[in-house]
């Protein structure tokens, strides 16, 4: 039985995959599952609307089928959890989404979570998903920094906007824990947490953490 978690970045931006890969480092343990991060070269540069979400679903399906024999768990590393329920029909291995696991982990760190999104148009999509998860009563708010996935590489501008939005979620919406609403924000987690004074969940780390246990326990 393989012991390998495949983290699928469904956008085609290698810098995002590299950022996730770096974020995985603390979760790599001797005797634990390998953690491999892959990019979907045929995906869009960023997943920024519902069309992008739908576009990558078959690509994720293809990847899951192709790697099903040598992986023990899959993580879909996009905050829209594209194709999550479809992928679960394709394999008996655990498949986890980073939005799902990021939010669930946040529930253990605070009573009301705030989400830092990339674009304003992402928010209704996120709200639909929080409703689907039955978690409206635990959400404080969802606010956008107004930068697309590719623009997240501009560190100064990105951090400055994240800090502003984090403070609004804390002070105006009453969040006591924050979730990063994009896999491309991983590098900013530690700094943002210190800055805002609230726990900040990096959702790819949250999902792979849960995948390690699921992989070891062989639950699906």
Sites of contact with its own copies (CB under 8 A): 26-27, 29-32, 49-51, 53-55, 57-58, 61, 83, 85-86, 88-90, 94, 96, 100-101, 104-105, 107-112, 123-125, 127-129, 131-138, 141, 174, 176, 199, 201, 205-206, 208-210, 212-214, 216-220
Question: Is 152 in contact with 142 (CB distance < 8 Å)?
Answer: no
CB of 154 to its own copies, least distance (A): 25
Q: How many CB atoms lie within 10 A of CB 217?
A: 9
Question: Is 113 in contact with 179 (CB distance < 8 Å)?
Answer: yes
CB of 182 to its own copies, least distance (A): 18
Q: Which is nearer to its own copies, 27 or 153 (CB)?
A: 27
Three-class DSSP labels, 36-66: EEEECCCCCCCCCCHHHHHHHHHHHHHHHHH
* C-alpha dihedral sign at 130, 76, 98, 141: negative
CB of 168 to its own copies, least distance (A): 11
CB of 77 to its own copies, least distance (A): 15
């Amino acid at each position: 039985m393989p012991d390998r978690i495949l983290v699928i970045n469904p956008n085609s931006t290698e810098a995002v995959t590299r950022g996730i890969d770096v974020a995985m480092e603390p979760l790599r343990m001797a005797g634990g599952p390998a953690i491999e991060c892959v990019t979907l070269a045929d995906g869009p540069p960023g997943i920024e609307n519902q069309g992008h979400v739908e576009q990558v679903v078959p690509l994720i399906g293809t990847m899951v089928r192709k790697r099903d024999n040598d992986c023990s768990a899959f993580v879909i590393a996009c905050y829209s959890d594209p194709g999550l329920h479809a992928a679960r029909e394709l394999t008996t291995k655990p498949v986890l989404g980073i939005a799902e696991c990021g939010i669930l982990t946040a529930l253990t760190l605070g009573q009301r979570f705030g989400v830092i999104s990339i674009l304003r148009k992402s928010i209704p999509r996120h709200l639909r998903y929080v409703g689907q998860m039955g978690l409206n009563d635990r959400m404080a708010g969802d606010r956008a920094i107004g930068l697309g996935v590719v623009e997240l590489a501009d560190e100064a501008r990105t951090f400055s906007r994240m800090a502003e939005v984090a403070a609004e979620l804390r002070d105006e919406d009453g969040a006591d824990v924050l979730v990063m609403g994009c896999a491309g924000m991983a590098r900013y987690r530690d700094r943002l947490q210190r800055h805002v004074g609230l726990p900040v969940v990096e959702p790819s780390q949250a999902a792979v953490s849960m995948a390690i246990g699921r992989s070891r326990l062989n639950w699906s």
